[in-house]
Chain A
Amino acid sequence: MNLEVFLLLAAALFSVGLYGALSQQSIVMLMMGLELMINALLVAGAAFWFYVSPGTPDGQVLVLVAVTVMALEMAMGFAVITALFRTRDVDMTDEAGHLKG
């Protein structure tokens, strides 16, 4: 195992998440894509800590921030979906295009 293979795993997870975020029609499924992309960030942050600078705990703190961001993103995402669904009965990305320029 080395840094490259861990980053390759992170890149694969990120790309799968990106595909989901771009292609899913349901807003909750889109958020699952975003979660997968942050998941990739966890792997990359941990691998950088272990293989580049294990002496300082900066990489670990970054992973801690990414884990928190993941939970907050889910909470805010569901709150926005609930608000959208209450006012407009919308749970699909295609119908929520009112801010489209």
Chain B
Amino acid sequence: METVAFWVLAVAAVGFGVAVFVVDSMARATFALLASFLCVGVELLLLDLDYLGVLVILMMIMEMLIMAVFMIMYMMNPGGLMPMTMVHNNRGALAISIGVFTALAAGIFLTPWPPRRGTVPADPTFSVGQAIMGPKMLVMMVIGIAILATMIASVVLATDRGRYDRPSHREDGAK
């Protein structure tokens, strides 16, 4: 049962991933990417990662809905009304990605993977919670600072005028 679910979700995840770059409209591409993420989230649930699977599903739904707004802002082909191509160097990119896939697949099947150490804990969520609040706390602290830095940096970059610009409607006419 789980094996069937794995293969169905795996094919769907890759299929939706391909659809992202095949569909005409960028809004449709965003929702294809969302579908691919949802398949991956359920794959994580198959690996007993209840918390991370649900986290991926919820986070990606929100992220892709925000992304859809930006996609519509920067859409090259509104509504997918005109068939057009949005790619450059298609053949080269195809050759490189097929080559990378072949190399990765060869590596996957030729590498002698180590045997399994330890057993899956009764509650993996509990163990990851204890890790990030204990020995792995540095990771969480770095993530927190990275999120703060990203918030500041993205606002500074996206704002209309930079830090040292003056408003143009000042009385002395300085700009």
Contact A68 B93 (CB under 8 A): no
Contact B128 A60 (CB under 8 A): yes
Q: Is A64 interfacial (CB-CB < 8 Å)?
A: yes
**CB contact list, B89-147 vs A, under 8 A:** 89-90, 92-94, 96-98, 100-101, 104-105, 108-109, 113-114, 116-121, 124, 127-128, 130-132, 136, 139, 143, 146-147
- Nearest residue, chain B, Cβ from A83: B157
User: Which bucket holds chain B's interface residue count?
Assistant: 35 or more
Q: Is A65 interfacial (CB-CB < 8 Å)?
A: yes
**CB contact list, A7-42 vs B, under 8 A:** 7-9, 11-20, 22-29, 32-33, 35-36, 39, 42
B residues adjacent to A (C-beta < 8 A): 2-3, 6, 10, 13-14, 17-18, 20-21, 26, 29-30, 33, 36-37, 40, 43-44, 46-49, 52, 55-56, 59, 63, 66-67, 70-71, 74, 76, 86-90, 92-94, 96-98, 100-101, 104-105, 108-109, 113-114, 116-121, 124, 127-128, 130-132, 136, 139, 143, 146-147, 150-151, 153-155, 157-158, 160
Residues of A within 8 A of B76 (CB): 25-26, 91
**CB contact list, A59-82 vs B, under 8 A:** 60-61, 63-65, 67-68, 70-72, 74-76, 78-82
A residues adjacent to B (C-beta < 8 A): 1, 3-9, 11-20, 22-29, 32-33, 35-36, 39, 42-43, 46-47, 49-58, 60-61, 63-65, 67-68, 70-72, 74-76, 78-83, 85-86, 91, 93-94
Contact A20 B21 (CB under 8 A): yes
A46-B46 Cα distance, complex, nearest whole Å: 10
Chain A min CB distance to B146 (Å)? 6
Contact B2 A1 (CB under 8 A): yes
Q: Tally of A-B residue pairs with Cβ under 8 A? A: 221
A89-B119 Cα distance, complex, nearest whole Å: 55
Chain B min CB distance to A43 (Å)? 6
Selected contact of A32 from candidates B30, B59, B118, CB within 8 Å? B30
Contact A91 B74 (CB under 8 A): yes
Given contact pairs A7-B108, A51-B113, A85-B74, enumerate 5 new A-B contacts (beta carbons under 8 Å). Answer: A7-B104, A19-B96, A22-B89, A51-B116, A81-B74
